[in-house]
Structure 1
Amino acid sequence: MPYSSSLTDEEWEILEPFLVQILPRKKRTRPSNWTKREILDGIFYQLKNGCNWEDLPKDLLPYSTVYWHLHSMAGSWGD
């Protein structure tokens, strides 16, 4: 179920090409269970609603995954 904070298809088409520049590179030992769009939707939900990480809706990714990706991205912006 999309939320008001979820990316539209049009927004995703604009944003997706930039993700290579902002997302941190990490060594992959196995394929990711989540798409980049799902990760961003979780981040945007938390940022828009200001809820505790643990209170992310259960139909979004696990809060620990969303939190890790947000802080991994934020750490790479200063590089």
Structure 2
Amino acid sequence: MGQRKAYRTDLSDEEWALIEPTLTAWRAGRRFIKEATTPLRKIVNAVVYQNRTGRQWDLLPHDFPPPSTVAKVAGVGGFTPVPQRWKSERTFAGSRALAG
């Protein structure tokens, strides 16, 4: 399967450049049972898509990571601008725009 067509909710390269260092550092400091293979940008795009569209997690389009993967990485659990795990761990504490 090739590269998917971008959704209007996908982060631009400029937006991703702002948060990528923070998320990469967050992921590097975490312990996972197995090595993380899903790109963080795909996780973030899924979270943004769900929050902007209001779709249920189990109804995410098939070209996003599985909802269970998004939930495990981001700690999602409701309609919140910033996933609970990232919010509780203050992943975006230095960014008012992303801290929710």
Indicate whether the TM-score tops 0.5.
yes
Q: State the alpha-carbon separation in 1 of the partners of residues 32 and 72 from structure 2.
A: 15
Show structure 2 runs of 5+ residues with no match: 76-84, 91-100
Q: Which residue of 2 aligns with 1:44?
A: 48
Q: State the alpha-carbon separation in 1 of the partners of residues 73 and 33 from structure 2.
A: 17
Query: Which of 19, 35, 39 is the matching residue for 1:15?
Result: 19
Moved over 6 A (4+): none
Q: TM-score, normalised by structure 1?
A: 0.78
Q: Which residue of 2 aligns with 1:53?
A: 57
Q: TM-score, normalised by structure 2?
A: 0.64
Query: Which of 66, 74, 86 is the matching residue for 1:73?
Result: 86
Q: Larger % of helix: which?
A: 1
The total of aligned residue pairs comes to 77
CA RMSD for the aligned pairs? 2.2
- The one of the two structures with greater contact order (alpha-carbon pairs below 8 A, sep at least 6) is 1
